[in-house]
Structure 1
Amino acid sequence: MKKFYSVLLMAILSLVKAQMTYTAANYANVSDQANYHLGNTSTSLNFAATGANFQWNFAAVQNQSSKQIAYADPSTSVFKNLWCQSLGYTSDCDVEFSDNFNVAQKLINNPEPAGTNSTLEDLFAHYYKSYSDFSTKMLGLKMNSSGNEIVLTLNYQQPDVMYKFPMNYNDSYTEAFSYDGESMEQSFLFKINGTGTRTNVVDGYGNLVINNQTFSNVLRLKTISDQQITIVQNSGTQQRSIKTINYQWFHQDYKFPVLDVVAIEQNNITIPIEIRYLENSSTLANSSNEKLGKHFIYPNPSKGIFKTNIPENEIKSIEVYNLAGQLVSKSLNLSQLNNGQYIVKINTAKESISQKIIKN
């Protein structure tokens, strides 16, 4: 009987060890980018299957093309002044903009059809990242509808909380979001109003095989986004309902999801409409460190006193986080902290650089 309990205890401990935590420090920041392969969506693979200690095998996914995801500095956004104007920020535009957005992303690279006689020419997302969440707070768009140029910002009254940190197995939440925007160019009215909910469930962990790559100890996040959109134009009003399902697999060593599947459901069957998976070695969590040398924080591991090869006069701030995403220090002297793994974030005038360290 004693041996039975020992075996049972070891099994439980192995399961606990297998469950990974993904924090805000692991996730991407400004200037980070990922190169993705786009897989063939004509597949019978079951992306919905999940569970504890799960083995996902998508080796059969074949690469068809490629796609790059990149996060930019929102101060470069061409929609900045329009956003300030729409909310009445005149003298304090720069301050308000930087307080509201710290990450941005260009969502389309080429014009795309957007309905009858309409073309979407530009779409720019503006996010705010904190150590508790990552949220969409504004979309800037430019389009041509029946020969009329439309430029407007969709301002979120309730942000769309895309992720909450830290992510752990069995975490779940549902958050409402809402936005609106209006443009009146040469007597042509274009107005959008949207409301919806996002439900996120961390519903699995285990090992992932995708094409010829293997990722051990990943978390799987399922997202259901359900929104209703009202579009008002001179010609009338249109109402649309959009529901999407997103499956994402996260690994601590990568800043973006290692696998991202966008899907719809028909007759209880999940049908993928986009499958993207990381190219080999893309977006490693310490990729930004290469700009400053292979090991910019040293020695690693250390008993508690760490150093950096970044010149002291270039450092604006130092932040040290535990794996639960909590700020535990603002210096590289970790002598008073418990042994374990930490994420160090060094902010300079040009960028933020993160590295995982070990105190032993």
Structure 2
Amino acid sequence: MRIITLLLCSMTAVFYGQATYTSANFASVGDSFYITTPEPSALQLDYTVTGAGIAWDYSALVPQTQELIAWSNPNDSGYKTVWCFLNGFFFNCNSQFNANFNLANTATDGLVLQGFGLTNVVNHLNKTNAALQNKMIGAQVTLNGTTVPFVVSYTDPDDLYQFPMNFGDTATQPFAINANLSSFGFPVQIQSTGQRTNLVEGWGTLVTPFGSFANVLKLKSTLVQTTTITVDGTPQTTTTTTVSYQWFDPAHKIPVLEASGNLVNNQWVPTTVRFMDIQRCLTPQAAFAYVPVQPDFNPTNNGVTVNFVNLSSNYMASSWDFGDNTPLSTLENPSHTFVCPGLQEVTLTVTNTFCEPDQVNTFTIPVFVSDSQNAFTTSVTVTDTQLSADRTLTGTTYQWLDCDNNNAPIPNATGQVFTPTADGNYAVQLSTNGCVAVSDCYPFAALGNTGFTQGNSRLVPNPTTGVFSITGAASAQIQKIVVWDLLGKPVANSTDISHLAAGWYMVQWETDEGVFHQKIIKQ
């Protein structure tokens, strides 16, 4: 009788010790959880121990960073319209979309891939009584300062979990996804295929810094993935095997502990450890990235839009200073339009208001906005009669300056074109979008009353390789010749300029009829 009693007790313990985890236990729309990543020492622990009735104790994990993950309605992700359009669902978009997706979460706020930027990357999933499938990824693609929505559907969904989970269950499912970005101007194609094998390999109790769990299942998820990235027609293929150990408690809607890593020479090497947690006062760490990584001013748009990705941890509030005297932004992942080229010091300040007192951290990155089209040029074209600023951007204002008078503004000289009334050196102050710049000083030799009517006189040949001559009426009885460079310095006093560097020069000559000027180009 005693043996029978012990056997019954043992069978009862086994029966009640093994949990069952169903789709109803898993997260739904509106759920959110704090996930903590412990200090790197966590990677030294053994997460492979498994079997029946195991007591896993990871209470020694030391929290380091924390994030809030949320599960949302895929209708709110911003990618429904694009998905329906690409699949031809013009009149039944809502019904088709809702039939395919009922859950979404953010995969990453942003990343840079093959030189272009992806932001707001969102997984679109479908949870049923039998499985949780990842079926589509939506992202914002940034190219040349322009951001557009982009979706990639799995041709074979990735079955993340099978339901219900019971000890000993195993399942292997293939997956495939293919993204061709050529239509967006990126000569990039990404193809990924593989299979995921899920094995519920253990059950028992678990302890983490969050608490004790008396009834958990341990899932081993093995992902074998072959990815081919083709850039400009050149493919590069890699195959990786990732193993993730996850502990599930039916009382909680996500894994209460997860340790992931890669198989390297048949040896599992952990790379990340995360556990479900309470909100904690942890030191904030500010960090961010931005796309495009090489922003370039676009004259058509009169600026360039840069998307900033907040990579900070342990924070509840953000403040962005874009370094261009524009108002601060408190958005988590803002977009900002820079209207001037040049270097801007962008600073992110994050605050953990859960702490008492608040804890603050800042991070600064210099963002350089190029001007490949030279829209903000400060060059000036000088003719025989006037100076003309080359910048033509809409809204530009001009103020001509007298370089020989400490750059004093010249009254009423506020047009793009300026006609001096006296010899001298002149510059122009340009203001576009509130960005002010001053050109170099340009020499100008003002013409006398006869100078503007020098008739048929010409410098020939022009351009010249060295020696030129003066033809026409004004060439009679030349008394003096002076050749000036761009800085207003006399560099020659004859018609032979073969010793001068290539460029353009101003030739001045005196005759009985007056003083004359013409531009000549030395090749």
TM-score normalized by the length of structure 1: 0.72
Assess if the C-alpha contact under 8 Å between 1:41 and 1:273 holds in 2: no
Assess if the C-alpha contact under 8 Å between 1:149 and 1:185 holds in 2: no
Shift of 1:254: 0.5
Separation in 1, partners of 2:265, 2:198: 22
Shift of 1:84: 1.6
The aligned residue for residue 158 of structure 1 is: 156
Alignment of 1:31-50 (within 5 A): 31-42=30-41, 43-50=43-50
| Identity fraction in percent | 31
Assess if the C-alpha contact under 8 Å between 1:152 and 1:183 holds in 2: no
Aligned residue type for 1:19: Q
Residue 40 of structure 2 aligns to a residue in which SS?
coil
Flag the 1:232–1:81 CA change in 2: closer, same or farther, 3 A.
farther
Q: 1:193-214 deviations in whole A, cap 9, x for unaligned? A: 2211000000000011113621
Residue 95 of structure 1 aligns to a residue in which SS?
helix
The aligned residue for residue 410 of structure 2 is: none
Separation in 2, partners of 1:150, 1:241: 30
Shift of 1:235: 5.6
Aligned residue type for 2:255: P
Q: 1:87-128 deviations in whole A, cap 9, x for unaligned? A: 22222222211111000111113x33435x344323110000
**Matching residue within 188, 191, 194 for 1:193:** 191
**Matching residue within 260, 271, 295 for 1:262:** 260
The aligned residue for residue 108 of structure 1 is: 108
Alignment of 1:101-140 (within 5 A): 101-109=101-109, 111-115=110-114, 117-140=115-138
Q: 1:136-166 deviations in whole A, cap 9, x for unaligned? A: 0101123447878675322112111111111
* Greater Cα offset, 119-128 or 263-272: 263-272
Alignment of 1:19-58 (within 5 A): 19-42=18-41, 43-58=43-58
**Matching residue within 277, 280, 284 for 1:279:** 277
The aligned residue for residue 248 of structure 1 is: 246
The aligned residue for residue 89 of structure 1 is: 89
RCO greater where, 1 or 2, for CA within 8 Å and sep 6 or more?
1
Aligned residue type for 1:239: T
Separation in 2, partners of 1:254, 1:186: 42
Residue 274 of structure 1 aligns to a residue in which SS?
strand
**Matching residue within 149, 174, 177 for 2:175:** 177
Residue 181 of structure 2 aligns to a residue in which SS?
strand
Which 5+ residue runs of structure 2 have no aligned equivalent?
A: 281-523
Separation in 1, partners of 2:112, 2:88: 32
Alignment of 1:57-72 (within 5 A): 57-72=57-72
Flag the 1:127–1:217 CA change in 2: closer, same or farther, 3 A.
same
Separation in 1, partners of 2:116, 2:271: 22
Shift of 1:44: 1.9
Separation in 2, partners of 1:243, 1:249: 20
Shift of 1:268: 4.2
Separation in 2, partners of 1:95, 1:200: 31
How many residues were matched structurally?
279
The aligned residue for residue 231 of structure 1 is: 229
The aligned residue for residue 78 of structure 2 is: 78
Separation in 2, partners of 1:103, 1:212: 26
Residue 152 of structure 1 aligns to a residue in which SS?
strand
Assess if the C-alpha contact under 8 Å between 1:26 and 1:252 holds in 2: yes
Assess if the C-alpha contact under 8 Å between 2:141 and 2:150 holds in 1: no
Shift of 1:185: 4.1
Aligned residue type for 1:30: V
Aligned residue type for 2:192: G
Separation in 1, partners of 2:81, 2:132: 23
Assess if the C-alpha contact under 8 Å between 1:40 and 1:275 holds in 2: no
Q: 1:329-358 deviations in whole A, cap 9, x for unaligned? A: xxxxxxxxxxxxxxxxxxxxxxxxxxxxxx
Q: 1:19-74 deviations in whole A, cap 9, x for unaligned? A: 11111111111111111111123332101111100011112211110022211100
Assess if the C-alpha contact under 8 Å between 2:210 and 2:277 holds in 1: no
Separation in 2, partners of 1:233, 1:91: 36
Residue 225 of structure 1 aligns to a residue in which SS?
strand
Shift of 1:172: 0.4
Residue 6 of structure 2 aligns to a residue in which SS?
helix
Residue 24 of structure 2 aligns to a residue in which SS?
coil
Shift of 1:237: 2.5
Greater Rg over alpha carbons, structure: 2
Residue 108 of structure 1 aligns to a residue in which SS?
strand
The aligned residue for residue 290 of structure 1 is: none
TM-score normalized by the length of structure 2: 0.50
The aligned residue for residue 305 of structure 1 is: none
Separation in 2, partners of 1:151, 1:118: 14
Assess if the C-alpha contact under 8 Å between 1:213 and 1:280 holds in 2: no
* Greater Cα offset, 63-72 or 204-213: 204-213
Assess if the C-alpha contact under 8 Å between 1:181 and 1:192 holds in 2: yes
Separation in 1, partners of 2:190, 2:180: 6
Aligned residue type for 1:223: S
Q: 1:161-185 deviations in whole A, cap 9, x for unaligned? A: 1111111000000001112232334
Shift of 1:243: 2.2
Residue 16 of structure 1 aligns to a residue in which SS?
helix
Flag the 1:186–1:23 CA change in 2: closer, same or farther, 3 A.
closer
Flag the 1:233–1:89 CA change in 2: closer, same or farther, 3 A.
farther
Residue 170 of structure 1 aligns to a residue in which SS?
coil
Residue 44 of structure 2 aligns to a residue in which SS?
coil
The aligned residue for residue 205 of structure 2 is: 207
The aligned residue for residue 485 of structure 2 is: none
Assess if the C-alpha contact under 8 Å between 1:119 and 1:143 holds in 2: yes
Separation in 1, partners of 2:116, 2:185: 17
